[in-house]
Structure 1
Amino acid sequence: MMSESIILYKLIILYMLNKVDFPLNNAQISDFILEKEYTTYFTIQQAISEMIDSDLIRAETIRNSSYYHLTQEGENTLNFFGNKISDAIIEDIHEYFKNNKFQLRNEGSILADYYKTTNQDFAVRCQVKEKDSNLIDLTLTVPTKEQAEAICNNWNEESQNIYAYIMKQLMHN
């Protein structure tokens, strides 16, 4: 029974990733599955790990969060076996996305991370993505880790204003 169940959880995750045009992070996937009480957190992590190993999904790590993308292999698997997901589960997924889409999109498309440079400064990379393209990709260098963390933490709230300001400044005649 366990192997049959884990296959279903994998298909649910593949289906979720296929329904959005941005990556989902571990918390977003887990929240849905745990909220519906389909399985445990550890089973979800096992399913995700196995899918990465078998190249059904691709992981990208940004500031201690893993974001998952559907691979071509994952899409093929979903096309083959997607009919094993019940209509009730599909309805639950659609409802979850309808209620959370804006929040999910923002979490997946407004990104900030930092790293130590060879000069011992900190480079902070701030991005706003739409589908597969960058609307803005800005790298700032600051002297301290605290400043780098502050920029990362504020980027989520301020990115729209900063983008609008830059566009206005650069577009005026």
Structure 2
Amino acid sequence: MFEKSSNELAINKLYILYILSKMEIPLSNSQIINIFMENDILDYFSLQQYLHELKDANLVSSIEEEGHSLFSISPKGITALKYFENRIPSGTKDSLDVYVFENRENILRDREVKAEFKKIKDGEFDVKLQILDGKIPYINIDLKVPTNKTAKTICDNWKEDASNIYSSIIESLINHS
């Protein structure tokens, strides 16, 4: 019985290493949770425990960015994954590969395109929009708008189509007569 549970523990940790390796970008805790919950692979509490243990073993590294931890596979984790990747069931590996293929661009865009708003006072909301290249901003836009609905709409539109909006702004500034 103990052997099965320790084998299961090792495979569950391999799942985390595998997804961090395949994504090729640091992931936030919530992004990791979403991946495993959407694929019905690990429960929340086990995932948190395994992630903590992988970090303690230096198989996963984390960096702080804007008050959030971002996790990535470490060189030691890459080596471990190479040795033991064949233990991951092919069906699980296939479903994770499909998930990465279908969702990597959206996850990357979420890290590059920022849109948030907060209420300043009655009738005034502060909206902050950004496009980042790593940590370097291409554009920062700060707006004051009158309603929560307007702020939310602006943020949703920015997240949906930031690159085209950015291009339109640049084109308008260049071609303005």
Q: For 1:58, which of 51, 59, 62 is the aligned residue? A: 62
Q: Counterparts of 1:11 and 1:133 in 2: how far apart (Å)? A: 29
User: Secondary structure of 1:58's match?
Assistant: strand
What is the CA distance between 1:101 and its match in structure 2? 3.0
What is the CA distance between 1:90 and its match in structure 2? 0.8
Distance 1:95 1:169, change over 3 A: same
Q: Which residue number in structure 2 is paired with residue 24 of structure 1?
A: 27
TM-score (norm 1): 0.66
State the one-letter code of the partner of 2:138: I
Q: Counterparts of 1:14 and 1:45 in 2: how far apart (Å)? A: 13
User: Secondary structure of 2:46's match?
Assistant: helix
Q: Counterparts of 1:72 and 1:167 in 2: how far apart (Å)? A: 40
Q: Which residue number in structure 2 is paired with residue 8 of structure 1?
A: 11
What is the CA distance between 1:112 and its match in structure 2? 6.3
Q: Counterparts of 2:107 and 2:132 in 1: how far apart (Å)? A: 14
How many positions carry a matched residue from both structures?
Answer: 166
TM-score (norm 2): 0.65
Answer with 1 or 2: which has the greater Rg: 2
Q: Percent identity?
A: 26
Alignment of 1:21-170 (within 5 A): 21-55=24-58, 56-62=60-66, 65-111=68-114, 126-129=130-133, 134=136, 136=138, 138=140, 156-157=159-160, 159-161=162-164, 163-165=166-168, 167-168=170-171
